[in-house]
Amino acid sequence: MALKSYKPTTPGQRGLVLIDRSELWKGRPVKSLTVGLTKKGGRNNTGRITMRRKGGGAKRLYRIVDFKRTKMDMPATVERIEYDPNRTAFIALVKYEDGTQNYILAPQRLGIGDKVVASAKADVKPGNAMPFSGMPIGTIVHNIELKPGKGGQIARAAGTYAQFVGRDGNYAQVRLSSGELRLVRQECMATVGAVSNPDNSNQNFGKAGRNRHKGIRPSVRGVVMNPVDHPHGGGEGRTSGGRHPVTPWGKPTKGARTRKKNKQSSKYILRSRHAKKKGR
């Protein structure tokens, strides 16, 4: 999908750059594959804000996306590509030979009428899913499982992908787009190709109201608050916020490492995403 810019006929259209979604399905989603979403406004079950800067936004229907791809060895035809308000990527409606319909994450270069299949060993074509044990080394993949049968968790956002770079016993070596090199069990499934909508990060919404429609509230900097509200707050005139930048709760931020040293999953990370920053 290409980017679409607008003539500045109004202040909100000056500098506005959006994704051209003219080729996407313009109707409503499949009703049996949707479920209602209730707004949380960033609050937990006790009503306290646990995630700031969320609230409002347009009403949404949640599309049930098949991240597991458990219908093995049954080809499916892509019926249409749709917009999903709940994620940055587009989704594809596929219809299996037995008549079942499912939504999957749409990879790049997947078109209407294409065939996709999940199998122990499938062709290396966008949209086909298989375990790493049946995949050639060097394949670009997305929607990667971390535990067999749990469903894809890695590389699901718009334009993201990872590369299968090698095998190590029962594990596959996967290089993520962050630069991290990690191990994943070879029984884990992954889908061939990169996720659709790579230009998502190049959009410019032009006005604050467009972010409010997405459910994003304003972000107030800590340095403009009072001391009671934030560790960076207060001071005479303009102050930078102190020597060590922290969160409102005193935890180091802006690059400080907060990952636990003995975290259980650290043994699966062969090279940290921070390694390239150190010049190693």
Give the pLDDT of residue 242.
Answer: 76
Q: Are 206 and 185 in contact (CB under 8 A)?
A: no
Q: Are 190 and 172 in contact (CB under 8 A)?
A: no
Q: Are 6 and 20 in contact (CB under 8 A)?
A: no
**Which of 79-88, 152-161, 212-221, 270-279 is the least confident region?**
270-279
Q: 14-23 long-range contacts, Cβ below 8 Å, gap at least 24? A: 14/206, 15/204, 15/206, 16/204, 16/205, 16/206, 16/207, 17/202, 17/203, 17/204, 17/206, 18/203, 18/205, 19/197, 19/199, 19/200, 19/203, 21/83, 23/81
pLDDT in tens, 138-149: 999 999 999 999
DSSP state, residue 29 = P
**Once rounded to an integer, what is the mean pLDDT over residues 17-32?**
96
On the question of pLDDT at 52 being above 60, the answer is: yes
Q: To the nearest 10°, report the CA torsion of 258, 214, 25, 18.
A: -90
Exposure on the CB side of residue 99, measured as CA atoms within 13 A? 0
Task: Delimit the domains of the chain by residue range.
Answer: 21-200
**Once rounded to an integer, what is the mean pLDDT over residues 149-163?**
97
Looking at every residue in the chain, the average pLDDT score rounds to: 94
Per cent of the chain over pLDDT 90 is 90
Give the pLDDT of residue 222.
Answer: 92
In this prediction the pTM is 0.91
What Cα–Cα distance (Å) separates residue 129 from each residue in 35, 75, 151? 25, 11, 12
Q: Are 184 and 144 in contact (CB under 8 A)?
A: yes
d(CA 188, CA 148): 5
Give the pLDDT of residue 278.
Answer: 52
Task: Give the class (CATH, top level) of 21-200.
Answer: mainly beta
pLDDT in tens, 65-106: 999 999 999 999 999 999 999 999 999 999 999 999 999 999
Per cent of the chain over pLDDT 70 is 98
Where residue 243 falls among pLDDT bands split at 50, 70, 90? confident
Q: Which of 77, 115, 70, 117 shows the shortest CA–CA distance to 93?
A: 77
**Once rounded to an integer, what is the mean pLDDT over residues 171-193?**
96
Where residue 239 falls among pLDDT bands split at 50, 70, 90? confident
